[in-house]
Structures are given as C-alpha cells and as structure tokens.
C-alpha cells in the first residue's frame, strides 16, 4: 500500500507537470504569431521598398524605410564592414536558450510573464532567422521628430521591447505581492 501511494503520488506529479507544460504551449502561439508577422512584414518591405528609401506613413513622425542592420536591436553595435554575424548569431542563440529555459521554469499561473517571454522568443527567432539567412536583419520602422530619429526597428524588435517591459512590470507587481 505504501509503494502504491508513492507511485500514485509520482504519477499525479507527472500528470500535473505535463498539464502545466501543455498549458504553457498555448503561449508559444504568441511567439508563432510574432514570428509570422515579423517575417511577413520584412518580406513585404524587401519586395516593395528599395534599399535605403523611405515612404512617409505619418508625415513628420513615422516613415517606412528599408535598412539592413548587421548589429543588434535598434542598430546597436552595427558596423559598416558587416561585423561578425556568427558572433551575434551565437549570442542570439544563447539568449534565446536562456529565455526558453526561463519560460519552462516559470509557473503556468504567471500569465503576464509567460506572454512577455513568448513575445521575446518570437522576436528573437524572427531576428535570428534573418541573421542566419543573410547576416543582417531588415529594419523598416523609422520614428522621428524633426531631425531626431530613433534607430530603425522591426516587428521583432518591438515584440522584444514590449516583452521586456511586461517582464519588468510583472516583476514589480510580484515584488509588491511579497511585501507584508
């Protein structure tokens, strides 16, 4: 009887873990949506907008542009000579592995964190695909005021940024819950 209760207890824990993982899989649909929209919008830009050209969307504020970024998000660490795309690819893979590990370790009840991590995963995959395929990432959203421009970015960069902000907000919210 004692061995039977241990087996039943382990079985229940295994079922709970499997259900938790299954529940988390639906959050990866967010990652898939980000990846699909990111790759589709980059493909449209590459197909319809000549390199280094701009098309006003909101005059004086937002342009569509076609930039190839061999750096990281928002053009950080970009070089004119192309830099080392394999180093950035390796760093991107490492960061993606860390985020995925955090995703699987997070509680299935922590929905905001799981959505945030899913956004980061989708964005990281979108930019990683570009970097592996061509050594650079297509950026196309140009936000500016007067002559002051934010570095061009894309859907993947936006998803990563929103995911990080949601993670920070979730962390602040969780911190408040723990305080007496």
Structural domain boundaries in the chain: 25-178
Mean per-residue pLDDT, 112-136 = 94
DSSP 134: H
β-strands 148-149, 137-145: how paired?
antiparallel
| Active-site choice (38, 142, 157, 170) | 157
Read off the tokens for 71: 């750096």
| Active-site choice (130, 139, 142, 170) | 139
**Could you give the CA distance from residue 87 to residue 74 in angstroms, rounded to a whole number?**
17
Is 38 considered catalytic here? no
pTM value > 0.85 = no
Tell me if 127 sits within 8 A of 50, measured CB to CB.
Answer: no
Is 157 considered catalytic here? yes
Segment 100-113, tens digit of pLDDT: 999 999 999 999 99
At 31, phi and psi to the nearest 5? -60, -45
pLDDT classification of 70: cutoffs 50, 70, 90: confident
Segment 149-166, tens digit of pLDDT: 999 999 999 999 999 999
Q: Identify the pLDDT of residue 135.
A: 86
Instruction: Tell whether the torsion through CA atoms of 156, 157, 158 and 159 is positive or negative.
Output: positive
């Amino acid at each position: 009887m004692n061995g039977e209760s241990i087996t039943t207890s382990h079985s229940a824990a295994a079922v709970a873990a499997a259900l938790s993982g299954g529940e988390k899989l639906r959050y990866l649909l967010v990652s898939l949506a980000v990846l699909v929209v990111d790759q589709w919008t980059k493909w449209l830009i590459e197909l319809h907008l000549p390199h280094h050209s701009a098309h006003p969307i909101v005059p004086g504020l937002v342009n569509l542009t076609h930039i190839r970024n061999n750096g990281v998000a928002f053009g950080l660490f970009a070089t004119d000579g192309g830099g080392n795309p394999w180093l950035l690819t390796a760093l991107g893979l490492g960061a993606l592995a860390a985020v995925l590990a955090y995703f699987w370790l997070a509680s299935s009840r922590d929905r905001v964190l799981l959505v945030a991590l899913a956004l980061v995963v989708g964005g990281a995959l979108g930019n990683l695909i570009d970097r592996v395929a061509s050594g650079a990432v297509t950026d196309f959203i140009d936000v500016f005021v007067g002559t002051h421009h934010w570095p061009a970015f894309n859907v993947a960069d936006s998803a990563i940024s929103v995911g990080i902000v949601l993670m920070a907000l979730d962390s602040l919210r969780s911190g408040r819950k723990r305080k007496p």
